[in-house]
Structure 1
Amino acid sequence: MTMDKSFDAQAAEARISAEWERTNAFAAGANARRAETFTVMIPPPNVTGSLHIGHALNNTLQDILVRWHRMRGFDTLWQPGQDHAGIATQMVVERQMAARGEPGRREIGREAFTAKIWDWKRESGDTIINQLKRLGASADWSRNAFTMSGAPGAPAGEEGNFHDAVIRVFVDLYDKGIIYRGKRLVNWDPHFETAISDLEVENREVPGHMWHFKYPLAGGETYEYVERDEDGRVTLRETRDYISIATTRPETMLGDGAVAVHPSDERYAPIVGKLVEIPVGPKEHRRLIPIITDEYPDPDFGSGAVKITGAHDFNDYGVAMRNNIPLYTLMDGKAQMRADGLSYADSAAIATRAAQGEDVGDVSAVNLVPEDLRGLDRLEARKRVIEQVTSEGLAVTYLHKEIEPETGAEHMERRPVVEAKPIMQPFGDRSGVVIEPMLTDQWFVDTKRIVEPALEAVRSGRTRILPDQHRKVYYNWLENIEPWTISRQLWWGHQIPVWYGPALKKDQSSKLVGVSYAVADRKMFCAPSKDEALKLAESYYGQSVTEFETGNAAMAEAKEAFGTDALLQINDRGLESIPVFRDPDVLDTWFSSGLWPIGTLGWPEPTEELKKYFPTDVLVTGFDIIFFWVARMMMMQLEVVGDVPFKTVYVHGLVRDEKGAKMSKSKGNVIDPLTLVDAYGADALRFTLTSMAAMGRDPKLGPKHVEVNRNFVTKIWNATRFAEIYGVRGGGARPQPAHTVNRWIIGETARILMATDEALAGYRFNDAAGGLYAFVWGKVCDWYVEFAKPLFDGEHADETRATMGWVLDQCFAMLHPIMPFVTEELWSLTADRDRMLVHGDWPELGADLIDADADRQMNWVIALIEAVRSARAQMGVPAGAKLDLIVTEADAAARAALAANGPLIERLARVNAPADGTAGKGMIAVSVQGASFALPIGDVIDAAAETARLEKARGKTVKDAEGLRKRLSNPKFVENAEAEVIEETQAKLAALDDDIARLEAALAQLAAM
């Protein structure tokens, strides 16, 4: 078959992908010829996702490792799959329902709503899988997993046991006391009305305000307020009856539990322990809070005093917990001011008693929102609070002077201090609304009980994290770990397997005296299934139970029906059973994906896949989920099955735009990888990403980079077409050539193979790509093709055809993991093969194939040709001019190389046959190892014009170098710039210094002519 003039990437990629899939080429164990396994778990993309440039990098690197091992005969498994993405998926379906004018999820109910999600998943949920296939990802798609497979309500085609694995782990950890229910502060999304993880919070700098208010001392008490400078001199002394605070969220003042100052802050020493009045709310019920000391306040920031609202601020929560300050919740799930609970008067009275040191017990029913603010949106409440505090003269003020333009009269008035300043504000990355820190009842994992094995595994080297700086991130997070919030107030996900019922009240003799329906007292029944949970409940109550509709209203309904002594009177009232209901929450998706390695391999069943492919070999992931996913997988697998989930974690960088900026939609610099695939082909994009994947560095990508590597694809194609023209075919055994050129290229092939193996084994993907590029383009497609041309007509023609065919085969094989499509196409076109390249043998070549004599001779020839070419270009010699090559000095090895390769040198350097002679006027010198030459150029160039050109070039280069030198000598630049930027600047300066040296050498040669 005659090759086409060019490689049609789009047509070939579709055809080759279809053939790979038809033959199940990526199946686990395909092409296995050895006992060793190699397993990679794909970081499961969201089922709602589409391919972005980070996915392209991540999956390209995984695919390189998998294809490399598969060709080497390992029993490979690249396990693909998707995450059910609770919030994202629920949002997509709810938006679609709204767009179609359908009733909302609450109107149609949980079962009908989740059925709609399954319908959407069946129709649209494979988008990213199909896009990964376009990229050439060679995962075992027949094993595609889903984190909700086997869940109740899952339709045909979604069978599996992942749901069973998740539920079993929850029950096991619950029984061990590692999973528990409690109140903690969480990120709360008011749009979705659910807790969310830190990863789902996007912190943005937005315009904001800081309000300064006075908190009066109780009873009108006063104190002497003194400020001093650094030398201890008094700069302000006055009598105050208040302490001032600053806040960006005045509405949270209603829930303050204390005002904190630093223990070392002498300004407030006289009033520590005293009570102050919160300056908002009905005057007759103004409540009091204490002034406390804590290390958290910064004495040098603002007034040095900080209001503590433990239920609505993460820093305040820590202060409140350390100092036993009650936590008062102000808002409901929609971030509206609470309208439930006790009256404001009763609530304020309880809170004041607590401030005075009395134990008031559970404060969940305490609602410190005044009646006139209840039910308002938090921002509307903020306006009302500011208005009230200001109207009472309790805002901190400053003296403002204003001059009337017409009369020039001065007017002085006091105005509230309100600072307009940028603030960092948390937003839900899906909802786009401001996140509210909220104290809520959630399910938690007591991570401190399972963290140590995960730390030990990395410290001992059972699991490696590369590069090293990410190991420090891992340690830092795990050594300071907090309880993990695993519940979400959603409908799409693994519903928590806990049922609630009223608690039995018994006296000291264990006699039943009543039933409690209080939230804090509820009895919990945790089991893998509803039937098992209800059996637990029946055993506890000693009679039958009935499951109510899910929801907290069930207990209120039951209490109304049964009364607090329900169990004692149940039969008299004709009621048949005790009410129970299931927790409506679902598990955080990070909990289920934390079981990804074992869940996809069939656990808890003792499957053959689990025995064979676990622990996995390497996880390739981004730095942003080291703690959200990597660390949690480590903890979960070690706790559940007692082993690490992977032996190596390779953390790649963040793909940035070509200027080094982070990609974002708002900046308009996001790159769609499929657009690049359409324009330049998947191979070009994959090779570009690989060549930029330096360990510990962020790749900087632009279309021009991909275009360059599309040219590389074209270069390989054209070199193979050239070989075809000269009758070269592949598929043969390694030849034993006599000619130096052929012995040399075989040795170079062995050399690059060893370097490629070493680079891939060390996860130095960029070194593998860079080495292959230099070898294939430079040594094969340029030098070897040129060296081989005259050999096709002589006595070495057959061995040259055999050698070139063999070398190209090795090139296709070595490039295949990075550039699978063009290499698969060339493999099929250049020989009759019994299998596709995806199942071809990885080359096995050793250092014994490097012929020292041929290596030395051909590298000498290349050095001479390059030196002559460089001198010609430097001096402006016309490309078509053929120069004499005068040998002024040469040792025996050099003369042997000249004699053996004279025609090659003459043709490629554009020189006449080498001849002995001496250097003279109008000549320039060229030197290589063991020989010196002179090139007569006086008659072919204008020396004066070339001198002027080189002087101008030298002047510009010196100016550019001095600019970089000045930048590097600036301490501020060195201190503030990223290490990568400094290294790039140093590299640019070194290159410019080399250019200056070459230009000066050329000018010296011209001057000597």
Structure 2
Amino acid sequence: MSKELAKAYEPKEVEDRIYDFWMKGKYFHAEVDPKKKPYTIVIPPPNITGQLHLGHAMDETLQDTLIRWRRMQGYSALWLPGTDHASIATEAKIVEAMRKEGITKEEIGREKFLERAWAWKDQYGGRIVEQLKKLGSSCDWDRLRFTMDEGCNKAVNHVFKKLYDKGLIYRGERIINWCPHCKTSISDAEVVFEEKEGSFWHLRYPLSDGSGYIELATTRPETMLGDTAVAVHPDDERYKALVGKTVILPLVNKEIPIIADSYVEQDFGTGVVKITPAHDPNDFEVGLRHNLPVINVMDDGGVINENGGKYAGMPALEARKQIVKDLDEVGFLIKIEPIKHNVGTCYRCGTVVEPRVSTQWFVKMEPLAKPAIDAVKDGDIRFIPERMDKVYYNWMENIKDWCISRQLWWGHQIPAWYCECGETIVSEAVPTVCPKCGGTHLTRDPDTLDTWFSSALWPFSTLGWPDNTEELKYFYPTNTLVTGYDIIFFWVARMIFSGLEHMGEVPFNTVFFHGLIRDAQGRKMSKSLGNGVDPLDVISVYGADALRFTLVTGNSPGNDLRFSEEKVSASRNFANKIWNAARFILMNIKGKDIDCALPKKLYTSDKWILNRFNNVTAAVTENLEKFELGMAVSKLYDFIWDDFCDWYIELAKIRMNGADEESADSARRVLVWTMSNTLKLLHPFMPYITEEIWQTLPHDGEALIVAKWPEYDEALSFPQEAKNLENVMALIRAIRTRRNEMNVPPSKKAHIYIDTAHPAPYEEASEFIARLAYGSKVEIGTGFDVQGAVTAVTDDAKALLPMDDLVDKAAETARLNKELANAQKQLDTVKAKLANEKFTSKAPQNVIDGVKANGEKLEAKIKLILETLESYQ
């Protein structure tokens, strides 16, 4: 490691070298250590298809901050990394690559397709891992896992059989969400509802006895091809006499019954609904209650099938247009009512989801959901922020059975085989003989499991389960899950019930939900808006620490964060401030015998900065305990920039340049100690620059990453001395503010009279006051009578500065009169504009408010100028 710091901080020159130093030192690796407490975070595994985006960057930065902090506190801190196979997204990419070659999955077969998929994973799957390293992520890379590796596959098969044997996994025909583009089922949690323009088509269904017709409305007229009934509410007096009769299904020309079911809302529309059991989940349930036929009229690509008569072969939307046209021509279309309604779309590709009856595998959720709800209600799992529990309860208490089978080839193939005799065999190992008939012709279910099925096991499958490994016994349950609030259903809930069911314990104690990253205007980042930001581009310009600091600053649990390049630039400026402070310290200790210990004798300014450091240590630690990372970093920023750099370094300069060598030596040692320990507090947030600087300073230990986290120390508490110096600082600020208001340059020195009932601190700090408040001389006492003096007042003292020392009255009067005339002219323009009725009646309110605000500022400026001119008299 370098023992000197370059003139300027260049992240590109530091980051790779520091990360390599950490890797070689095995500092990220966590071992089972009975002497230490474990602290575990499992990474929300990014998709192998993924490219690091700002959401990932924030998620990993928050996790890395927590894991680095706990590691420094002495925990055996395991941050377990991994990637997700992402069935739908990965298969789509491979199919698209094959399409460009002119081949399909079906042409090459499953085995060859999977060979391509694994090759693709080997080529691209590690890309996001390398990107995470660029961010500074201190994951235990020795334990890197993949959701389809051998260990995870073993766990998946074990769980499937266990739940099947308990009757919690079953295969059946149900309405599922079908994506016509991805050509697979998706779970309820994977359906994203978007508001879209649509229509209500009001239709006539004629009564088959010729006595009239019944009117209903639908948003999906193409599904009428599969209608098997129309329904009314049993208490609806309008239709009681019609229940049991039949109507003629328009265009299809077949009779279907009129049934009564309480599912129908009497007050909605006409109080009549068409029932299509194969294409609507509610209709499916109605169909079960009334034993209705289930007629599927669409294939897996959203095209009308052979059950659609003359419309067979048409895509659904094309069929819709033709059906509406035909209904109109034969007089069955009453009217079309434009509406806006929520339409379910696939969370992966955005295609409108088709509810479709299908034979699939399901997990029975009710028995699993109850203990998972109780775990949060009983406090075994804590949500940060607490309000997220309402979202969780709402979903879990209304949960439906989970459709876990996917019509894909990339993923965990369902461990179920079918014999010609009709027997279903679920087994962890490949069976060779049917236990029922002894047959050997067994066919494996072609479907794969929902990606989230394997992800639900992540906290324990990654630690060796179902084997009872030492790692599992030591690191499980994990401590903290850090994740966005947008995957509470996808992942968080499923891990909770899986952990309870298979481990008998919750998978983690705390879930820390963060918000989403938005642009400076508060908009969600998206390709369509073109407002996305590549974090690697930001790192290449500003450095990883600047990006990390930006992503934590202002971050509060559960709330979205606005991102802008200006914020990153400000974070880089902060990094440069720290760098320059470190170079100043190194320059002043060069050739001196300085270690990292505090001096035996401490002066008032030393006690003040140590007291401030002690307090900020306690505050930052408390904030981290509460997951208030944004507050923690804000307090650190203020301490480093204001207290340490702007005040203590300036005070230390005066002492180090003075004649008292003991005081100078004390200042040097306190500078080193405070900087070294402040770097420890800052390290979890800005790991690269802190490690680089710490290595150049006198220090104990081999690396900052494993240095001991500072703790509040009563021996460093100096409240009275700190208060005394803060009173002095307050007066210095007041004097400087007053001089600034009068445009007095620092070169213009003034005699400073300090009137106070507590003279001792001011007498001790008189040299500081003279230097920092630009005094030619400082006198301290009471009852000063200084004619024509300017005053600066605090709650502990009053400073008087003779006017003649501050300004050339004649020149300053001329300048102020000129400024007064200009301000008055601008104010007259504002008043004229506000008096103009054409302007006030036509201008937008925000423009008028802006003009008024400008007028108020000008009036305040004029008042201040007049007061200053009066003081010159």
Look up the match of 2:172.
182
DSSP 3-state at the match of 2:358:
strand
Judged with a 3 Å threshold, the aligned counterparts in structure 2 of structure 1 residues 846 and 117 are, in CA distance, closer, same or farther, namely same
Q: How does 1:6-405 map to 2 (within 5 A)?
A: 6-29=8-31, 34-101=35-102, 103-150=103-150, 161-221=151-211, 241-261=212-232, 267-268=238-239, 271-281=242-252, 283=253, 286-297=254-265, 299=267, 301-317=268-284, 319-320=286-287, 325-339=292-306, 367=307, 369-370=308-309, 372-396=310-334
1:483 to 386, 394, 401: 401
DSSP 3-state at the match of 1:650:
strand
Which amino acid letter does the alignment assign opposite residue 487 of structure 2?
Answer: I
Look up the match of 2:440.
545
Which whole-Å deviations, capped at 9, do the CAs of 1:314-366 have from their partners, x for residues lacking one?
Answer: 44445545665543321121222222xxxxxxxxxxxxxxxxxxxxxxxxxxx
Is the contact between residue 556 and residue 630 of structure 2 (CA under 8 Å) also seen in structure 1? yes
CA apart distance, 1:434: 2.7
- Separation of aligned partners in 2, 1:327 and 1:467: 45
- Separation of aligned partners in 2, 1:680 and 1:526: 54
- Separation of aligned partners in 1, 2:601 and 2:529: 58
CA apart distance, 1:200: 3.9
Look up the match of 2:625.
761
DSSP 3-state at the match of 1:540:
coil
- Separation of aligned partners in 1, 2:226 and 2:114: 38
Look up the match of 1:510.
none
DSSP 3-state at the match of 1:530:
coil
Look up the match of 2:353.
435
Judged with a 3 Å threshold, the aligned counterparts in structure 2 of structure 1 residues 64 and 100 are, in CA distance, closer, same or farther, namely same
Which whole-Å deviations, capped at 9, do the CAs of 1:70-128 have from their partners, x for residues lacking one?
Answer: 11111111000011111111111122222234x32211111111111111111111111
Is the contact between residue 672 and residue 698 of structure 2 (CA under 8 Å) also seen in structure 1? no
CA apart distance, 1:267: 4.9
- Separation of aligned partners in 1, 2:731 and 2:687: 36
Is the contact between residue 459 and residue 476 of structure 2 (CA under 8 Å) also seen in structure 1? yes
Look up the match of 1:528.
428
Look up the match of 2:374.
456
- Separation of aligned partners in 2, 1:64 and 1:861: 37
DSSP 3-state at the match of 1:692:
coil
Judged with a 3 Å threshold, the aligned counterparts in structure 2 of structure 1 residues 999 and 138 are, in CA distance, closer, same or farther, namely farther
Indicate yes or no: 2:734 matched with 1:867.
yes
Indicate yes or no: 2:458 matched with 1:584.
no
DSSP 3-state at the match of 1:845:
coil
1:932 to 798, 803, 807: 798
Unaligned residue ranges in structure 2 (runs of 5+): 832-845
Judged with a 3 Å threshold, the aligned counterparts in structure 2 of structure 1 residues 928 and 207 are, in CA distance, closer, same or farther, namely same
Is the contact between residue 731 and residue 809 of structure 1 (CA under 8 Å) also seen in structure 2? no
Which amino acid letter does the alignment assign opposite residue 614 of structure 2?
Answer: A
Report the identity percentage. Answer: 41
Indicate yes or no: 2:534 matched with 1:672.
yes
1:896 to 749, 753, 760: 760
- Separation of aligned partners in 2, 1:954 and 1:934: 34
CA apart distance, 1:388: 2.3
DSSP 3-state at the match of 2:133:
helix
Is the contact between residue 950 and residue 1003 of structure 1 (CA under 8 Å) also seen in structure 2? no
DSSP 3-state at the match of 2:41:
strand
CA apart distance, 1:433: 3.2
Unaligned residue ranges in structure 1 (runs of 5+): 151-160, 222-240, 340-366, 397-416, 504-521, 547-579, 959-972, 974-987
DSSP 3-state at the match of 2:671:
helix
Is the contact between residue 792 and residue 799 of structure 2 (CA under 8 Å) also seen in structure 1? yes
1:738 to 599, 602, 607: 602
- Separation of aligned partners in 2, 1:96 and 1:162: 27
Which whole-Å deviations, capped at 9, do the CAs of 1:442-496 have from their partners, x for residues lacking one?
Answer: 1111110111211111111111111011111111111111101111011111111
Look up the match of 1:469.
387
Is the contact between residue 190 and residue 490 of structure 2 (CA under 8 Å) also seen in structure 1? no
- With structure 1 as the length reference, what TM-score do the two structures score? 0.78
Is the contact between residue 209 and residue 421 of structure 1 (CA under 8 Å) also seen in structure 2? yes
- Separation of aligned partners in 1, 2:445 and 2:72: 50
Is the contact between residue 924 and residue 1006 of structure 1 (CA under 8 Å) also seen in structure 2? no
The more displaced of 13-22 and 425-434 is 425-434
- Separation of aligned partners in 2, 1:696 and 1:1007: 53
CA apart distance, 1:957: 14
Judged with a 3 Å threshold, the aligned counterparts in structure 2 of structure 1 residues 713 and 995 are, in CA distance, closer, same or farther, namely farther
DSSP 3-state at the match of 2:733:
helix
Is the contact between residue 33 and residue 75 of structure 1 (CA under 8 Å) also seen in structure 2? no
- Separation of aligned partners in 1, 2:391 and 2:259: 37
Judged with a 3 Å threshold, the aligned counterparts in structure 2 of structure 1 residues 997 and 686 are, in CA distance, closer, same or farther, namely farther
Is the contact between residue 732 and residue 802 of structure 1 (CA under 8 Å) also seen in structure 2? yes
DSSP 3-state at the match of 1:617:
strand
2:718 to 842, 846, 851: 851
- Separation of aligned partners in 2, 1:458 and 1:420: 44
Is the contact between residue 264 and residue 272 of structure 2 (CA under 8 Å) also seen in structure 1? no
Which amino acid letter does the alignment assign opposite residue 527 of structure 1?
Answer: S
- Separation of aligned partners in 2, 1:267 and 1:695: 53
Look up the match of 1:354.
none
- Separation of aligned partners in 2, 1:322 and 1:631: 31
Which amino acid letter does the alignment assign opposite residue 361 of structure 2?
Answer: W
Is the contact between residue 33 and residue 73 of structure 1 (CA under 8 Å) also seen in structure 2? no
The more displaced of 752-761 and 209-218 is 209-218
CA apart distance, 1:924: 4.0
How many pairs does the alignment contain?
Answer: 836
Judged with a 3 Å threshold, the aligned counterparts in structure 2 of structure 1 residues 465 and 999 are, in CA distance, closer, same or farther, namely farther
Which amino acid letter does the alignment assign opposite residue 21 of structure 1?
Answer: M
- Separation of aligned partners in 2, 1:956 and 1:791: 54
- Separation of aligned partners in 1, 2:829 and 2:702: 57
Judged with a 3 Å threshold, the aligned counterparts in structure 2 of structure 1 residues 526 and 898 are, in CA distance, closer, same or farther, namely same
Judged with a 3 Å threshold, the aligned counterparts in structure 2 of structure 1 residues 451 and 922 are, in CA distance, closer, same or farther, namely same
